[in-house]
Amino acid sequence: MTSMYCEREPETVRATGRGSCSPDLLHHIEHCPACTEARHIAQLLLPDAALLQSTLNLPQATRVWEKARSRAQTSALERASCVQAVLKAAGFVYAAIFVIWSIRTFPILKHYSNLPVVSGEAASTSIAAAVFAASCIVSGLWYMLRKDKRENTLTHSGLG
């Protein structure tokens, strides 16, 4: 089967759907086999199109966009609250460890007149505490960035 094509086929189909053709288009349809066939097929499909149009209730585009925007905002809030909870828990753990470390490292003096001198052991413990704090912060940020990257990958691949 060879396919015929005319650049006025879409115009012919639209005019058939509307039920009105210009005299110029009617003259063209009479002399063009591709447009004659397109008009015939469009006339055959009109009852089905009318039935679908009456039964199909599509939402407005603005409503679809609003729903998509709402879902995106909800997803962003869920991500933010999850990261916030993880960082909050890490902060409480760090604070508890810091309090225990402080009580152990800096003994309370009787007269509170002089601050204790930081010894080599206290300095190394302070560095360890700073490294632990940095690792908590980095792990929280890594979790957040990893989740964003995974969701962007899903969105770009059409799975999200």
Q: What is the pLDDT of residue 154?
A: 54
Q: What is the pLDDT of residues 60-109, one digit of tens each?
A: 888 889 999 999 999 988 888 887 788 777 777 877 776 776 666 655 54
Q: What is the pLDDT of residues 1-44, one digit of tens each?
A: 456 788 989 999 989 888 888 889 889 889 999 999 999 999 99
The CA-atom distances, in angstroms, between 34 and each of 9, 37, 63, 95, 145 are 7, 5, 39, 79, 56
2 vs 141, residue with greater confidence = 141
Q: What are phi and psi of 51, to 5 degrees?
A: -65, -45
Distance CA 47, CA 84 (A): 57
Query: DSSP assignment of 90-123, as one string?
Result: HHHHHHHHHHHHHHHHSPPPSS--SPPPP-HHHH
